[in-house]
Amino acid sequence: MDSFHFFDSGYRVLNGEVPFIDYWLVKGPLLDYIQAVFFYIFGINWQSYVLHASLINALITISTFFVLKNFKLKTTYCFLYSLLFSILAYPSSGTPFIDHHSAFFSLLGIYSLLLAINNQRKLYWALIPVFLGFAFLSKQVPATYVILSVGFILFLYSLVNKKFDCIKYSLVGSVLFIFLILIFSKSQGITLSSFLDQYIFYPQTIGVERFKNLNLTYQNIIENFILIHLAIIPLFYENLKKIFSIKNYIKHNNFYIFLVLLFLTFSLILHQLLTKNQTFIFFLIPILTAFSQISLTDSKLKFKKPICFIIVLICLFATFKYHLRYNENRKFHELKNVNFELAVDAKKIHKKLSGLNWITPQFKKNPTEEINIINRIESLLKKDTRNKMVITNYPFFSIILDQKLYSPSRVYTGDGTTHPLRGSEYAAKYKELMDNIILKNNISVIYVINTVNKNTNFHYINLYQHCFEEISLLNQLKSYELKNCN
């Protein structure tokens, strides 16, 4: 479900469907459009999908090198830290993922802020809201936390240093970005009300519950992120010392660079404490290690060379540790205890999935059984030439069938993170969207696939009991034939 999250939806956008209108969208519209571009240029296949994540990883890695070089770090270290960053960044997911996109576009916004403070160039001030806007359109958080942090730092920096140009150019960038987004939304037919309901107001109902259940303990905040904290300690110590030893240090650029990195770290840790996904923010370690080393350059610490050596070793150790855990063992996608030697070439499902080794936690001992089920379902769907809606947590059936399947959500979970559940104040709006899809596209039948997750038992079907006749085709597949609803 996570690996293929934008696979079908990118294809749907490529074929003229529109988020917020043709399917309910809680997060990540930007990724659907970016993936549609990749499919258009490189073809509709698994390689194009992975290339999307790979090029984002390359972009942010090169940006990291450029930023570190701008802060006068030796080229050897710039290359080392950028390399280690690239290993810990997108490979933990390997495919486009909303949290990663939001974090990395936020990081590009942070890089623009660091360069703006360090170089005082107008362009960097103007680019900050553009990158943060892309981050927000990837996922609301952690982007919102970073946006609030950046807003506070910009206000403090301009007020203390009496430099208000930074706010002026940032506002220019913000206005231009919002104007272009409004024009694009208008061209797509996306209404402001649908965007606000699906992307702003409904997700807040999820976020409120998570904030209520937030558990701030020493283990959660410190122990789980101990290597991140170790990486930032030298930077923290040097700046804390200067606050008390240098008069008006609050006016120095180095203070704001420290503040930016500190707020970024706290923002991403807060996001990890609230999200239900695996930890993915260990890419902070090379960045924080690099800036800790930069802060020690002009330090009068007696043992600064041994300290630099130690933090480099910590960074190398962390990269090796988390590479094995998240990249090799695929922990991020819950595949830690899976025997990858049992994986099967996914071209047995369809040639467009060639290059993917197929294995899932639900069928980790016999992936061939799952593939056989998928193939049987595909065969039944292919035989039905009517306009149909397919409810599934396999977000690739549109592509392998080369058909529009009009799913009202990308995927389906039982906790309300993908669409409103029964009892939600937004359930009626979701039903209205589903009604529009059925009527506009003359849907004759709805198929519900329950192979991976029983939460795909789509409760909205119950609202149409007088309209549909239920037929069980396989243990994992049911159809709901449209009858006269008058």
Above pLDDT 90, what percent of the chain? 79
* Nearest of 389, 386, 383 to residue 461 by alpha carbon: 389
- pLDDT tens-digit profile of 327-341? 998 888 888 889 999
- Give the least confident one: 147-151, 181-185, 201-205, 451-455: 451-455
Confidence of residue 161 (pLDDT cuts 50, 70, 90): very high
Higher-pLDDT residue of 181, 463 = 181
CB 10 within 8 A of CB 39: yes
pLDDT for 192 equals 95
- pLDDT (tens digit, 9 = 90+) per residue, 376-385? 999 999 999 9
For residues 430-440, give the mean pLDDT. 92
Stretch 44-66: mean pLDDT, rounded?
98
Strands (E) across 290-384 are located at 344-345, 357-358
Position 452 confidence tier, pLDDT thresholds 50, 70, 90: low
Any residues with CB less than 8 A from the CB of 275 and at least 6 apart, and which?
Answer: 99, 141
168 — pLDDT class (breaks 50, 70, 90): very high
- Identify the pLDDT of residue 458: 61
53-67, 81-95, 175-189, 301-315: which has the minimum mean pLDDT? 301-315
What span, in angstroms and rounded, lies between the C-alpha atoms of 448 and 451?
Answer: 10
| pLDDT of 465 strictly over 70 | no
Burial (CB count <10 Å: 0-12, 13-18, 19+), residue 304: middle
- pLDDT band, very low/low/confident/very high, at 457 (cuts 50, 70, 90): very low
Region 257-285: mean pLDDT is: 94
* pLDDT, position 156: 96
- The pLDDT of residue 456 is 47
Burial of 70 (0-12, 13-18, 19+ CB in 10 A): middle
pTM score of the predicted model: 0.95
pLDDT tens digits, 212-239: 778 788 888 899 999 999 999 999 999 9
- CB neighbours of 64 closer than 8 A, spacing ≥ 6? 81, 82, 85, 111, 286, 287
H helix or E strand, kind and range, residue 478 = strand 477-482
Q: What is the mean pLDDT of the chain?
A: 92
Residue 455 has pLDDT above 50, yes or no: no
